[in-house]
Amino acid sequence: MNSQNNKQPSPLLSLEQLKVYYPIRKGIIKRTVDNVKAVDGVDLSIYSGETLGLVGESGCGKSTIGKAIVGLEKPTKGRILFDGDDIAGYSSDEMINLRSELQIVFQDPYSSLNPRKRVIDLLSEPLRVHRIVSNGDVSKEVDRLLDLVGLPKNSKNRYPHEFSGGQRQRIGIARALSLRPKLIVCDEPVSALDVSIQAQVLNLFKDLQKELNLTYLFIAHGLGAVKYISDRIAVMYLGKIVEIGPTKEIFQNPKHPYTRALMDASPIPNPHLRNRKKVVLQGDVPSPVNPPKGCRFHTRCPMAEAVCRVQEPELTGDSLHSSACFFSH
Partner 1 sequence: MFNYVIRRIFIAIPVLIGVTIINFIIMSMAPGSPVDMLISPQIPAEALAAKRIELGLDAPAYVQYLSWFKHLLQGDLGYSMITYEPVLNMILSRMGPTLLLMGVSLIIGVAIAVPLGILSARKQYSKLDYAAVTGSFLGISVPNFFLGLGLIYVFSIWLKILPSSGMTTLGSEGGFGDILLHLIMPVIVLTANVAGRNIRYVRSSMLEILEQDYLRTARAKGLKETLVINRHAVRNALIPIITVLGMEIPILFGGAVVIEQIFSWPGIGQLTMSSIMSRDYSTIMGLNLTAAVIVIVANLLTDITYALVDPRIKYSK
Partner 2 sequence: MNLFERYFTGRKEPQLDTDMIWPEGDESSIKLFTRRFKKHKLAVAGLGVIIILTLCAIFAPLIAPYDPTTVTESFGAAPSMDHLMGTDQVGRDQLSRLIYSARVSLSVGVGSILIAVAIGTILGLISGYFGGWIDSLIMRITDMFMAFPYIMLILVVASIVGPGLMNMIIILGVLGWPGIARLVRGNVLTLKEAEYVKASVVLGYSTPRILFHHILPNTVAPILIYATSGIAGAILDEAALSFLGLGVQPPTPSWGNMLASAQSLTVLTSQPWLWIPPGVMIILSVLSINFVGDALRDALDPKNTK
**Sheet of strand 183-187: strand arrangement:** 102-105, 183-187, 215-220, 51-55, 232-237, 240-246, 322-323, 316-317
Residue 8 binding target from partner 2, partner 1, none, CB below 5 to 8 Å by type: none
Is residue 274 involved in binding partner 1 (CB under 8 A)?
Answer: no
CB-based contact 35:23 (threshold 8 Å) = yes
Select from 10, 17, 26, 111 the one that contacts partner 1 (CB under 8 A): 26
Segment 154 to 173, residues that bind partner 2, using CB under 8 A:
154-155, 158-159, 162, 164, 166-167, 170, 172
Residue 126 binding target from partner 1, partner 2, none, CB below 5 to 8 Å by type: partner 2
**Sheet of strand 31-46: strand arrangement:** 31-46, 13-26, 77-82, 85-86
- Classify strands 183-187 and 322-323 as parallel, antiparallel or unpaired: unpaired
Is residue 115 involved in binding partner 1 (CB under 8 A)?
Answer: no
- Using CB under 8 A, count the residues that bind partner 2: 52
- Using CB under 8 A, count the residues that bind partner 1: 4
Please provide the DSSP assignment of 220-284 as one string.
ESSHHHHHHH-SEEEEEETTEEEEEEEHHHHHHS--SHHHHHHHHHSPPS-GGGGGS------SP
| 187: β partners | 219
Burial class (CB in 10 A: 0-12, 13-18, 19+), 146: buried
Quick one: which segment of 26-34, 147-155, 298-306, 318-326 binds partner 2 (CB under 8 A)? 147-155
**Tally of CB atoms within 10 A around 170:** 25
Binding mask 171-210 for partner 2 (x = CB under 8 A): -x--x-x-xx-x--------------x--x---x--x---
Helix 165-178 to helix 195-212 angle (10° resolution) is 20
Segment 50 to 109, residues that bind partner 2, using CB under 8 A:
70-72, 92, 95-96, 99-100, 102-104, 106-108
Whole-number Cα distances in Å, 83 to 46, 63, 87, 99, 325 = 11, 22, 10, 14, 31
Residue 27 binding target from partner 1, partner 2, none, CB below 5 to 8 Å by type: partner 1
Is residue 27 involved in binding partner 1 (CB under 8 A)?
Answer: yes
Residue with smaller CB distance to partner 1, 25 or 210: 25
Residues at the interface with partner 1 (CB under 8 A): 25-28
Residues at the interface with partner 2 (CB under 8 A): 70-72, 92, 95-96, 99-100, 102-104, 106-108, 111-116, 125-126, 129-130, 144, 147-148, 150-152, 154-155, 158-159, 162, 164, 166-167, 170, 172, 175, 177, 179-180, 182, 197, 200, 204, 207, 211-213
